[in-house]
Structure formats: structure tokens, C-alpha cells
């Protein structure tokens, strides 16, 4: 009679994470034949897998998205808006058109802040005299971050996690020795790594139990201001105490990039569009989770649904949200 060896939880975690890391290494090695092939499984000890990931010594390029979309500083703001919307991304490195060196970074939050009441919104009033069409056709360098936080390509995965948490950023560009952008690492990349792997920890200790909330009658502009004031990329929308959905910075960017909103930019009546109800931007299919759901399961749901946050509910009652940033915090511990 054959006796099957019982696999305990740490062994299962070690196997699953080792498989994911080695798969990423294999894909990277195929693209770069100069790299030495690495096939060994990660050496895990008895403690949980999240801490091991944060201390792992592999280069960040194993995790990063290679050859990310970039734009030159002379690209227009509306070009950046359309590029982000079409590609489904929230940030774009800005590189010199001649040297390809990293010069800046533009994010969805920067853009909605520029158009919807952030500190750089004053540029529209003062420099462009309220002309939105002229403003969105200005160079992206007028609102980009020119002091960019970045990593060199041989930095460790743990370095990316630490910097993203300390600087409260959702992504970080990776450069080579000539400071050319060769990759970008985001919260989404980490969600893909830990998705579906039991963490033996629930989201309850990491979720935001008191998020700023918008009511269904709130305007898009007021929702933008809430996001900017709280440093958040998403906001739950309620009707009284009833949860309706989550609106993100990317949802607002998509709205600006297409349809009626863009027509308002052209005609110069953009403020009329921002006065529309934020509830109109809610997308269907938001998946609620309970507070006791495992972190790995939450990451799996985010990855499967291409979202960066989930509502936390118990018996139909809204208790808060958990974001990819919250899970990144868990990884760092």
C-alpha cells in the first residue's frame, strides 16, 4: 500500500510561492539569455510567506512589468489621459525624447487633481485663464513630478516594497545604468504574486474601517476633492447607509478621456461635467468580502477582477474597504 506524504501549510506555501517566483524568473531568463538560469525553490522557514517575500533577495526585474509605456515631457496632458485610459494604467514614466532618460512621472491622481481642484488646478485659473482646452493641450511636464523616486534594475524586491510604503506610492519605475526606464513595479504586480496563497491572516487587521465616503448625490468634483484631501485613490459611494459601489481615480480618468466629458473640455464647459453625480461612475460587478477573508484570497479576487480595492461587508452592512496598498503593508511585515 502506498502512503502519501502529508504536506503541512508552510510546505504548501513554500511550494506555491516557489513556483510563482521561478515562473517569473523563467520568463525573464527567456528574454535575456545572458542571465544565469535560476530554478531552485526559495528556502522558506517556518514563518509566514508574506515576510519571506519582503526579505527575498531577487532583483526587482523579476516582478516588474518590462518595457512600460512612457511619454516625452512634450506630450500633451490629454495624450497622457487617453494613454492611461486606453492601456488601463495609473502612472506613466516621462522620459527624454532624445536620451530616453527618466525625467518625471505622471499619475491618474495628478491629472484629476489638475482638472478637479488639486493644488495644480490653479494653473488652469492663472496660466490658462480658465480655458480647459488650452490646459489639457499643455505639455505634461507642467504637472508631472520631476523629482522621481526610482529603483535601479538590480535592486531587491524588498527595496520596492519598503519604498512604496514609505513614500505612499502605488508604483515605482526601474532604470538601468544609463537611467533608461526598463520596467515598472506596481501594487498590481505584488497582488499577482500573492494571489490565492493562504496567508493565515485576515484582512480585518489591515483594512480601512473608516474610509471617507461620498453620498450618491455628491458631485464628481467633490469626490475628487475628498480623494485628494485624504490621499486616497478610491472612494466608497453610499446612499444613506447603503453601499452602492467604489469609484477610483482611474474611473474618473476614463470618464474624462471619453464621451461627454471630453466634449465638455472641447466646448470649454468642463465644470458642468464635474458637477455630475459621482454615482454615475460606479462600475458593475464590485465583489464584497467579509472581514475574516484571508489576505491571499483578497489578492486573488482583486487580480481576477482587475481592481485595486474591495468593499468589506457583513450581512449587507458596509464595514470598510481593503486595498492593494493594505495588502502591500501586510507583505512588508
Domain identity same for 72 and 167? yes
pLDDT of residue 120: 64
Mean per-residue pLDDT over the chain, rounded: 81
Whether the per-residue pLDDT at 234 is higher than 90: the answer is: yes
Domain identity same for 48 and 84? no
In the listed set 160, 194, 228, which residue is the last one of a domain according to the structure?
194
Domain identity same for 232 and 325? yes
Task: State the Cα angle at 236 between 230 and 239, rounded to 5°.
Answer: 125
Q: How confident is the model at residue 38 (pLDDT cuts 50, 70, 90)?
A: very low
Domain identity same for 31 and 144? no
Q: Which residues contact 99 (CB under 8 A, 6 or more apart)?
A: none
Domain identity same for 188 and 207? no
Statement: the pTM of the whole predicted model exceeds 0.85: no
Q: Tell me the per-residue pLDDT of 6-21, one tens digit each, with 9 for 90 and over.
A: 334 455 555 565 555 5
Domain identity same for 83 and 176? yes
Domain holding 236, by residue range, is 203-332
In the listed set 170, 194, 218, which residue is the last one of a domain according to the structure?
194
The answer to whether residue 60 sits within a structural domain is no
Domain identity same for 209 and 315? yes
The answer to whether residue 181 sits within a structural domain is yes
Whether the per-residue pLDDT at 44 is higher than 50: the answer is: no
The answer to whether residue 2 sits within a structural domain is no
| Whole-angstrom distance, CA of residue 198 vs CA of residue 42 | 17
Domain identity same for 167 and 207? no
Q: Tell me the per-residue pLDDT of 88-128, one tens digit each, with 9 for 90 and over.
A: 999 999 999 888 899 999 999 888 888 776 666 656 666 67
Q: What is the DSSP string of 217-235?
A: T-BHHHHHHHHHHHT-SEE
Domain identity same for 23 and 144? no
Domain identity same for 186 and 257? no
The answer to whether residue 80 sits within a structural domain is yes
Report residue 59: phi and psi, to 5°: -65, 150
237: part of which helix (H) or strand (E)? strand 234-239
Q: How confident is the model at residue 47 (pLDDT cuts 50, 70, 90)?
A: very low
Q: Which residues contact 41 (CB under 8 A, 6 or more apart)?
A: 14, 15, 18, 19, 22
In the listed set 142, 165, 194, which residue is the last one of a domain according to the structure?
194
The answer to whether residue 4 sits within a structural domain is no
Cell digits of residue 43: 528556502
Q: Which residues of 280-309 are buried (b: 16+ CB within 10 A; e: fewer)?
A: ebbeeebebbebebbbbbbbbbbbeeebbb
Domain identity same for 165 and 226? no
pLDDT of residue 221: 87
Split into its structural domains, the chain has a count of 3
Q: Tell me the per-residue pLDDT of 283-332, one tens digit each, with 9 for 90 and over.
A: 876 789 999 999 999 999 999 999 999 999 999 899 999 999 999 988 87
CATH of residue 222's domain is 3.10.580.10
Q: For residue 243, list its beta bridge partners.
A: 238
The answer to whether residue 84 sits within a structural domain is yes
Domain identity same for 110 and 151? yes
| Whole-angstrom distance, CA of residue 258 vs CA of residue 203 | 35
Q: Which residues contact 192 (CB under 8 A, 6 or more apart)?
A: 303
Q: CA–CA distance from 54 to each of 45, 174, 310 (Å)? A: 14, 18, 23
The answer to whether residue 230 sits within a structural domain is yes
Amino acid at each position: 500500500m502506498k502512503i502519501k506524504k502529508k504536506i503541512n501549510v508552510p510546505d504548501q506555501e513554500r511550494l506555491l510561492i516557489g513556483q510563482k517566483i521561478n515562473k517569473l524568473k523563467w520568463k525573464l531568463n527567456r528574454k535575456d539569455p545572458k542571465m544565469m538560469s535560476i530554478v531552485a525553490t526559495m528556502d522558506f522557514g517556518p514563518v509566514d510567506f508574506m515576510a519571506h517575500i519582503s526579505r527575498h533577495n531577487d532583483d526587482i526585474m523579476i516582478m516588474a512589468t518590462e518595457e512600460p509605456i512612457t511619454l516625452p515631457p512634450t506630450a500633451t496632458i490629454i495624450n497622457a489621459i487617453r494613454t492611461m485610459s486606453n492601456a488601463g494604467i495609473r502612472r506613466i514614466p516621462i522620459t527624454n525624447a532624445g536620451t530616453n532618460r527618466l525625467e518625471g512621472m505622471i499619475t491618474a491622481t495628478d491629472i484629476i487633481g489638475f482638472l478637479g481642484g488639486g493644488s495644480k488646478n490653479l494653473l488652469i485659473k492663472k496660466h490658462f485663464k480658465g480655458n480647459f482646452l488650452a490646459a489639457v493641450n499643455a505639455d505634461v511636464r507642467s504637472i508631472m513630478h520631476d523629482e522621481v523616486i526610482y529603483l535601479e534594475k538590480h535592486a531587491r524586491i524588498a527595496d520596492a516594497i519598503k519604498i512604496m510604503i514609505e513614500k505612499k506610492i502605488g508604483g515605482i519605475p526601474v532604470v538601468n545604468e544609463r537611467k533608461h526606464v526598463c520596467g515598472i513595479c506596481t501594487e498590481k504586480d505584488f497582488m499577482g504574486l500573492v494571489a490565492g496563497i493562504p496567508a493565515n491572516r485576515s484582512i480585518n487587521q489591515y483594512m480601512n474601517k473608516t474610509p471617507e465616503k461620498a453620498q450618491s448625490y455628491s458631485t464628481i468634483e467633490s469626490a475628487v476633492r475628498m480623494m485628494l484631501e485624504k490621499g486616497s485613490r478610491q472612494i466608497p459611494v453610499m446612499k444613506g447607509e447603503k453601499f452602492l459601489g467604489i469609484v477610483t481615480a482611474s474611473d474618473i480618468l476614463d470618464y474624462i478621456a471619453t464621451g461627454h466629458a471630453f466634449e465638455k473640455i472641447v466646448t470649454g464647459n468642463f465644470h458642468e461635467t464635474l458637477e455630475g453625480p459621482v454615482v454615475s461612475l460606479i462600475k458593475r460587478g464590485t465583489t464584497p468580502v467579509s472581514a475574516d477573508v484571508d489576505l491571499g484570497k483578497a489578492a486573488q479576487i482583486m487580480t481576477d477582477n482587475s481592481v485595486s480595492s474591495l468593499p468589506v461587508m457583513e450581512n449587507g452592512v458596509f464595514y470598510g474597504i481593503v486595498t492593494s496598498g493594505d495588502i502591500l503593508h501586510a507583505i512588508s511585515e
